[in-house]
Amino acid sequence: MNSLRRLIFPILIGCLAFAIGIALGGGPLQADEGDQTKTLRADNAALTNQVTTLRSSAVFEQAVNEAVAPKLLAGRLTGRGVTLLALPGVSDQTVADTQQALKLAGADVPVVASLAATLLDPGKKTYVDSVVSSSLRGAPDLDNLKGESTYVRAGALVARAYVGQGSDANIDAEATKIDAELQGAKLVASDGSPIRRGTFVVVLDAGGHGADSFTQAEMVIAQDLITGLVKGSDALVVGSTPTSSESGGLISELTANPSLSGKRVSTVNVVNSAAGPAALVYALAAAASGAPGHFGVIDSKAVLPPGLAARAD
């Protein structure tokens, strides 16, 4: 809800300022101020009322969400370890809201890490490849990745450091070494030193999209990173904003990626809404149970994850 307010209020306030500017330029500075000025003042008052209404609604909806969320999420991920990874541009508030929802669902969140902009920068590929190649030489259990792209291998390294599979969730010497190398190269920043790894993964995306070559290259890199993470985890969900489902956005690209079909990967494109973190929890649980999907607002219709749809009836 905080993210939603940050998205809506600046737009409305901008509209309000624009309307006031028109009133000043088209009213007192013009000879025919009369009816036009009155109309613009009425429009400005209406915009002010809308802002007031949205602020009040936001406060109420946040209170309702806080009251309902514990009951809605209880038991969905009990006993599960979840690694939370944030792509560049994701706000601290989005990370905190997601972490809180996971904990309300009974999950342990042993790793919270941010992937650096350098890792996704197409212009830094040579540097990233050198770091990845060096780290792989000390990870004999990842020898099968030699034919993969730089960024699939990078995703697999991130998984080896911070993500486990099945009962293998301990932090061993190899994971510690890779963590030190990735952080030393400033490709990853992690909170503290984890003592275990999550076997489920949440990837948060900021929602960037576009048709320019740089953005397209970033999306290819992000997809490859996620492919590597999928191979090294039990289930994964990508949470982002509605813009991520637009052409050139990460979720748009993931939904069209045939290599991920049948994998335990879900997406949610409303993570910045009041119900977004809850939807993300249910989407992750769906992926883990073998029923992954793409959830949120799709083609102007709400698509709820399994379990959440039943509870909403």
Q: What is the DSSP letter of 291?
A: -
212-260 per-position pLDDT tens digit: 999 999 999 999 999 999 999 999 999 999 999 999 999 999 999 998 8
Residues 262, 264: Cα–Cα separation, whole Å: 7
pLDDT at 40: 85
- Asked if residue 278 lies in contact with residue 72, where contact means CB atoms within 8 angstroms, the answer is yes
The CA angle 29-35-39, to the nearest 5 degrees, is 95
313 residues of the chain, pLDDT tens digit each:
444 334 333 333 333 333 434 343 444 444 455 578 888 888 888 888 887 776 765 566 666 566 677 788 999 999 999 999 999 999 999 999 999 999 999 999 999 999 999 999 999 999 999 999 999 998 998 998 988 999 999 999 999 999 999 999 999 999 999 999 999 999 999 977 788 999 999 999 999 999 999 999 999 999 999 999 999 999 999 999 999 999 999 999 999 999 888 899 999 999 998 889 999 999 999 999 999 999 999 999 999 999 886 665 5
pTM of the model: 0.81
Residue 153: which of 173, 130, 169, 172 has the closest Cα? 130
Check: CB of residue 223 under 8 Å from CB of residue 216: no
Q: CB–CB of 99/112 below 8 Å? A: yes
For position 45, what pLDDT does the model report?
Answer: 80
Interval 125-140: pLDDT, tens:
999 999 999 999 989 9
Distance (Å) of CA 257 to CA 119, 120, 212, 219, 301: 21, 19, 19, 12, 22
* Amino acid found at 124: K
Strands (E), 129-249: 188-190, 200-204, 235-239
- Provide the pLDDT for residue 289: 96
